[in-house]
Amino acid sequence: MKRAVFLAPLGLLLLLLLAFAMGLGRDPKELPSALVGQPLPAFALDALEPGSAPLASAALAKDGEPKLINVFASWCTSCRAEHGKLVQLAAEGVPIYGIDWKDEPAAGRAYLAERSNPFRAVGSDPSGRAGVELGVTGTPETFLIDGKGVVRMRHAGPIDEQVWQTKLGPMLEQLRAEARA
């Protein structure tokens, strides 16, 4: 008993070191979304292209189709890196909607005009208020919405092949299966 008391510090140290070792590889800045499992919060954004249909959460939630909502900005370099992947996914039939976050609409339009536009519709959020509703912490950020309009997953950072294959792709398949059932 007495010895156990004297060995306790060693045990605590080993636990602490274990925690540190597990914590080493991870990114302390990566945050879970408070929205996962919640219905898509309400927002209604003007279309980035004047004359196009606006982007409203109510409409996005209604059509029964699982989809991606991608938050991007023309000033964001990582968004450029993931753009090709988005275009490829759109070509494969993945429905992607865009939110041009904290950006001059003109700059956002120019950004999309220079590249092909992977988005079914793009809302302009120059004040970033829709982003706040979504709990956006930076660009790019992508949300997966199921057929009932519930946020099921969030990915912060650019989407690349690996992220798609291991994280977002399988989830989209699952949501599509749920929507069919």
Partner 1 sequence: MGAEIGHFALILALLLAIAQAGFGALGHRRLDPALMAAANVSAIAQAGFVALAFGLLMQAFAVHDFSVALVASHSHSLQPFAYRLAATWGNHEGSMLLWVLILSGFSAMVAAGGKTMRPGFHSLVVAVLGLLAIAFLAFLLFTSNPFARLFPAPLEGSELNPLLQDPGLVFHPPLLYVGYVGFSVAFAFATAALIEGRVDAAWARWVRPWILAAWVALTLGITLGSFWAYYELGWGGWWFWDPVENAALLPWLLGTALLHSALVLEKRGALISWTILLAILTFSMSMVGTFLVRSGVLTSVHAFAVDPERGIFILMLIAVSTGGALALFGWRAPTMRSGAMFSAISRESALTLNNLFLMAATLVVFLGTFWPLVIDLVTGNKISVGPPYYNRIFAPMMIPFLALVPFGPMLRWKSDEWRAVASRLKAPLLLAGLVLLAAAAASFATFGWRGLGAALGFALAVWLVAGSFALLLRRWRSESGLSARLVRTTPLSTWGMVAGHAGIGVMVAGITAMAVFATSEVVALAPGENASISGRTVTLQSAGVVQGPNYQALQARFLIEHNGKPRTLVSERRLYPASGNTTTEAGIAASISGITYIAIGDETNGRLAVHLYRHPLVGWIWVGALIVAFGGALALADRRFRAGLPAISAAPRVALPA
Partner 2 sequence: MKHRLVFAALLLATAAGAVEPGEQLADPALETRARAISTELRCVQCQNQTIDESNAPLARDLRVIVRERLLAGDSDEEVVAFVQARYGDFVLLKPPFSAETAILWIGPFAVLALAGYWLARRPRSAAAAEPQPLTAEDEAQVDAALGHVRKD
Q: What is the contact surface with partner 1 in residues (CB under 8 A)?
A: 2-3, 6-7, 9-10, 13-14, 16-17, 19-26, 28-29, 31-32
Based on the shown chain and the rule CB under 8 A, indicate whether residue 57 belongs to the binding site for partner 2: no
CB of 163 to partner 2, least distance (A): 12
Based on the shown chain and the rule CB under 8 A, indicate whether residue 33 belongs to the binding site for partner 2: yes
Nearer to partner 2, 34 or 91 (CB): 34
Nearer to partner 2, 28 or 93 (CB): 28
Nearer to partner 1, 109 or 154 (CB): 154
Q: Could you say which residues in the range 129-148 bind partner 2, by CB under 8 A?
A: 129, 131-135, 137-140
Based on the shown chain and the rule CB under 8 A, indicate whether residue 126 belongs to the binding site for partner 2: no
Are the beta carbons of 109 and 49 closer than 8 angstroms? yes
Residue of 106, 120, 101 whose CA lies nearest to 52: 120
In whole angstroms, what is the distance from residue 73 CA to residue 78 CA?
10
Task: Classify each residue of 79-99 as buried b or exposed e, where b means 16 or more C-beta atoms within 10 Å of its C-beta.
Answer: beebbebbbebbeeebbbbbb
Residue of 139, 145, 144 whose CA lies nearest to 108: 139
Nearer to partner 1, 31 or 132 (CB): 31
Provide Rg for the chain, Cα atoms. Answer: 20
CB of 118 to partner 2, least distance (A): 19
